[in-house]
Structure 1
Amino acid sequence: MSVPKWLTLSHQQVFPHKAFVVSDVTPVIDYERSTKDNKVQATDRESGLPLWQVEVLDGDPAASKRARTLTVKFATPKQPVCPPNTTGMPFTPVIFEGLCVLPYVDRSSESGRIAWSFRASDMTADTGKAGSSAADRASA
């Protein structure tokens, strides 16, 4: 069976109620190669590009506490830049371009659970209205 490792989804499929950046973009630290005095940035296993990350708040009011915040990573040669926040809100609404997800088993609890890694190629400002209609979700 030829199932891709990373599944490509649209931003609307993953974040039908918007996504909000709640941190700066920071390098992903490779803890296996880093020392106390020398932090080494992680690289993508396939492309060799540096990995960056940003913390995101899912705008879905029904999201569980565990699923409300997540990390989106980028494999890019240069540090991605968050779009400017012109909303007057404390968080910046964004749209992720080239969004991919990777399912994995999180074994941090006794029973384990399905969890998701998120990766995007870029992010842009979301200038649309809050929430979305059923028609918007159906067309995604």
Structure 2
Amino acid sequence: MAVPQRIPVVFTDVFPHGAYVLGVEPVNDFDKAKAGIADAQERDKVTGELVWAVRVMDADPNARAGSAEVKVKIAAAVRPVPPEPLAGTPFRPVEFDGLTLTPYVNTNGRTPKQGYSWWATGIRPVRAGAGRAAA
């Protein structure tokens, strides 16, 4: 049985209360930056495209402290454009296409911990009638 490195997941299973974009930033390749290479942005190992981190707030009111904000990485030639904010608010509701997770063991620190790396193929505004309440 072949287990994919990036495991497909359903957006509404991961974010049943929705999600809001906080920002989009390039992901730096630590080794390139350390070597002083001018273009130190990470490239996706699968596609070779630039990697961007979309900072997201999970709208789940029961999310544990410290776990309400996550980063979802997207490989794309240009910076992904977040949806427009809700009228009169700073909140940008978002849905991710092609959402996947990659589990890993974080060995930084005294005790190893289970971690997840989130990836998506794209972002888009929330569809009307998607079944989640807006802010």
TM bracket, shorter-chain basis: 0.7 to 0.9
Q: Which amino acid aligns with 1:109?
A: G
Percentage of identical aligned residues: 33
Q: Any conservation in 1 of the 2:17–2:133 contact (CA below 8 Å)?
A: yes
Tell me if 1:90 matches 2:93. no
5 Å matches for 1:1-140?
1-23=1-23, 25-35=24-34, 38-126=38-126, 127=128, 128=130, 129-130=132-133
Amino acid at match of 1:19: A
Q: Distance in 1 between matches of 2:93 and 2:104?
A: 27
What TM-score comes out, normalization by structure 1 length?
0.83
Find the residue that maps to 1:54 and give its secondary structure: strand
Q: Which letter does structure 1 place at the counterpart of 2:100?
A: C
Q: Give the match for residue 138 of structure 1.
A: none
1:30 partner letter: D
Note if contact 2:44-2:51 (Cα within 8 Å) is conserved in structure 1.
yes
RMSD of the TM alignment (CA)?
1.8
Q: 1:37 to 1:44 in 2, by over 3 A?
A: closer
Q: How many residues get paired?
A: 130
8 Å CA contact retained: 1:30, 1:39: no
Q: Which structure 2 residue ranges, 5 or more long, are not aligned?
A: none
Deviation at 1:107, TM superposition (A): 2.0
Residue 39 of structure 1: how far off its partner (Å): 4.8
